[in-house]
């Protein structure tokens, strides 16, 4: 085999509202593992030039099983973590500020401004 498992398809959506085929697991010492380019979570767009769009899971599996000795994959790397079953290994860098880092100080400033305004109005 090619040394990896796939999930997805029109009949087995892995991610809500997305019938694409994804790499779910790369087997240790398999062809994909030894090659090193494919990663868990990658979306596979085509196998040997054959588009995987709108295929049932079993039809995608059949394409992989009949791919031959030399296999060319067109993939889309998962750039950001998404909600869904596939895990994402981060390199430790954040893609931006968490929402709480913006909201908490903003709410604190707004509360302080309201308090000052109320105190000012009481004195008048």
What does the pLDDT average to over 11-40?
A: 91
Residue 2's pLDDT is 87
Query: What are the helix (H) ranges across the chain?
Result: 31-35, 57-65, 99-123
Give 6 or 29, the one with higher predicted confidence.
6
Residue 76's pLDDT is 93
Read off the pTM.
Answer: 0.62
What does the pLDDT average to over 3-13?
A: 92
For 21, phi then psi, to 5°, come to -100, 130
Lowest pLDDT segment from 16-30, 61-75, 79-93: 79-93
Residue 89's pLDDT is 43
Averaged pLDDT score across all residues of the chain: 80
Residue 74 has pLDDT above 60, yes or no: yes
Cα–Cα distance, 84 to 45 (Å, whole number) = 19
Cα–Cα distance, 38 to 76 (Å, whole number) = 10
Q: What is the pLDDT of residues 78-120, one digit of tens each?
A: 765 555 554 444 444 444 556 666 666 666 777 777 778 777 7
Look up the CATH architecture of domain 4-76. Answer: Roll (2.30)
- Residue 67 DSSP SS3: coil
- What ranges do the domains of the chain cover? 4-76
Residue 69's pLDDT is 84
């Amino acid at each position: 085999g090619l040394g990896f498992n796939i999930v997805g398809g029109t009949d087995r959506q892995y991610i809500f509202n997305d019938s694409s085929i994804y790499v779910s697991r790369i087997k240790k010492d398999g062809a994909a593992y030894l090659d090193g380019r494919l990663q868990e979570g990658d979306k596979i767009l085509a196998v040997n030039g054959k588009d995987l769009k709108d295929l049932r899971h079993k039809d995608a599996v059949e394409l992989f099983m009949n791919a031959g000795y030399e296999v060319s994959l067109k993939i889309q790397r998962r750039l950001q973590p998404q909600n869904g079953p596939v895990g994402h290994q981060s390199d430790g860098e954040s893609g931006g500020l968490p929402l709480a880092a913006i909201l908490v100080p903003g709410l604190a400033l707004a509360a302080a401004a309201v308090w000052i305004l109320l105190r000012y109005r009481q004195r008048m």
